[in-house]
Structure 1
């Protein structure tokens, strides 16, 4: 299968880049966070509040592991890398592209993490979340795109150049 799955921290532009990338390639676009919300009939932050971190991860794993599509750019939630079954599946159905951005740049882009539906453990900061997730993004990535100092166009160009 020839899908492209975008992974990375919240705020790196997975959905924004994903939509434009899909247009350029003539692919479909899928946002797995929206898929979760549609299947659960709740917003991400409501699922996290009601089910807790582990409950949300179980739902995220189930939804992402069940994606069956072709010629699609899939933008995932930042926490999908905690879901081994889902990540193994996404790697089987296409290439996984990690959109990397520094902690400083992320901190400038992000507002209220909880309202964004970001999966945070009690007392967790953006810095500790970043340090926990980066090794997982690197582990699952087939391709790493460094977005530091790049605008949307430059990031998109970098992704396209690595896919050719």
Structure 2
């Protein structure tokens, strides 16, 4: 897929533990762009952490707040780390996609489980009865729907993920 150079943002999507925030900071530094994490925008707006929102109002309230934050997003020249549930909001993702190259950081379940030690208190927007494996399968479809680029990052470190993203964007922008 050819990605228009008019898109000034790079949006990272993927499961919790896929490295969106860490890679986002490194990528922004490497590309001399600004960085923003939509989870932090949510927490700043609500003046509480994600788990507190879910504990008091439920996971659907968190998804609604997330959608509002995504719809309000109008920055340019940013690397954007989204929450793992961002693709549940079609309107929010459409807003991001207008001015962004969307990169899916694809990581397998075993690697994610090795990275996530605080699964129950991390603020993951999901029903209580849903297993991590069920959540993973459900979200894979959504991530692939919006991704311009997919980086399989099980076997590579964060710097290599950044390099892979940069190469994929440069390749797609060649005339």
Q: Normalising by structure 2, what TM-score?
A: 0.91
The runs of 4+ residues in structure 1 deviating greater than 2 Å are none
Are 1:51 and 2:67 an aligned pair?
no
Are 1:71 and 2:77 an aligned pair?
yes
Could you say which residue in structure 1 is the equivalent of 2:9?
3
Could you say which residue in structure 2 is the equivalent of 1:26?
32
> 1:45 touches 1:114 (CA, 8 Å); kept in 2?
no
| Deviation, structure 1 residue 120 | 2.2
Are 1:16 and 2:17 an aligned pair?
no
SS at match of 1:114: helix
1:1-164 equivalent positions in 2, closer than 5 A: 1-164=7-170
Give the distance between the partners of 2:60 and 2:146, measured in 1 at CA.
21
Q: Which runs of 5+ in 1 are unaligned?
A: none
SS at match of 1:65: helix
Q: Which runs of 5+ in 2 are unaligned?
A: 1-6, 171-175
- Length, aligned pairs only: 164
Instruction: Report Cα offsets for 1:15-70 as digits up to 9, x if no partner.
Output: 10000100111100000000000001111000111121211111000011111111
> 2:42 touches 2:66 (CA, 8 Å); kept in 1?
yes
